[in-house]
Chain A
Amino acid sequence: MSERIYIYKRYERFWHWSQALLIIIMMITGFEVHGSYDILGFAKATKLHTLAAWTLLTLWAFTIFWQFTTGEWRQYLPSLKNVAAMIHYYTIGIFTNSPHPFRKTVVQKHNPLQRLAYLALLAFISPLIWASGLLYLFYADWAKLGLDAYLSLEWVAVAHTLGAFMITAFFFIHVYLTTTGHTVFAHIKAMITGWEEADEHHA
């Protein structure tokens, strides 16, 4: 019998999947506003992009509260310990059927590389995309806020686009890495049900 642990709590799963949906909507509509293709039309894409952004900010307000009250924010503290072992696993071990060097527990559900990746996302990409996005959204109020002397729409838009490309690249890597559990869909299943079936290797 493999061991099962309850790793993703109900709110966490709700947060994850609604955020996933909102980010996918924003990627599709955002690149349409950027002019990359024509699916919904500029007007609808802009409206939906803005609506999704405000919805995600609301979701984050709840999530930040949840992170602090549950202490789950500690899951994002970086540690350089065992990072080399993780890199070795992803570049070599995974192909030779070696055991996964990291064991998920309730208090440590992210492997060391994941911690670094999520911290980078939170510390660099997130501020870039939210700061530029909110400035973009309130472009009409720049003069009133006294910001028009320091900002140009071009720089704000280009910074926002840069963040969008980074998030999109992150998204594809993130989705690919979900397939690296002990079975292809093991991680996705855990994110849906909350229960992670521990790998037999480290029984």
Chain B
Amino acid sequence: MGRRQSGASLDELREAYQRRLAEFRRVAAAIVGDRELASDVVQEAFVRAVKQRASFAGRGSLDGWLWRIVVNTARDHRSDPVGDRDETDEPGVYHDMVDERRNVVRAAVQQLPERQRLVLFLRHYADLDYGSIADALSISDGTVAATLHAAHSRLRELLSEVRSA
């Protein structure tokens, strides 16, 4: 979404919110580790966006600007977990195979550097192309490609280690 003028209109923000809400929330959930909190985070991010909409310079895409706000807001609310919070972590509570596998993935993803995690989340959960990810994280396209490759390799390696353990 290229722009020539500065400032974003409410209509544009609403359209982006409605079009990409599920992706915003999924990425936020991956960052903060809590689905409910992720919904709050996206709401909070868009409150910020509406309030600051005049400051959108129009140099990059509106989507990139919004992703930057969502990611930063999520990072402000982030706690230790990655991915959906697992309420079965409490001792003595029922576990099933899905929980167990999810915990394995969470542990592996937590070992990745933050930039690799963010690139991975934006690519996988929001299906953003390299240019949009670069825009959202304020890095170059080349860095996105290299970071994503490194993230995939490391994650594959970590999950293989679990499998062979």
- Report if A and B associate in a common complex: no
Binding site for A on B (CB under 8 A): none
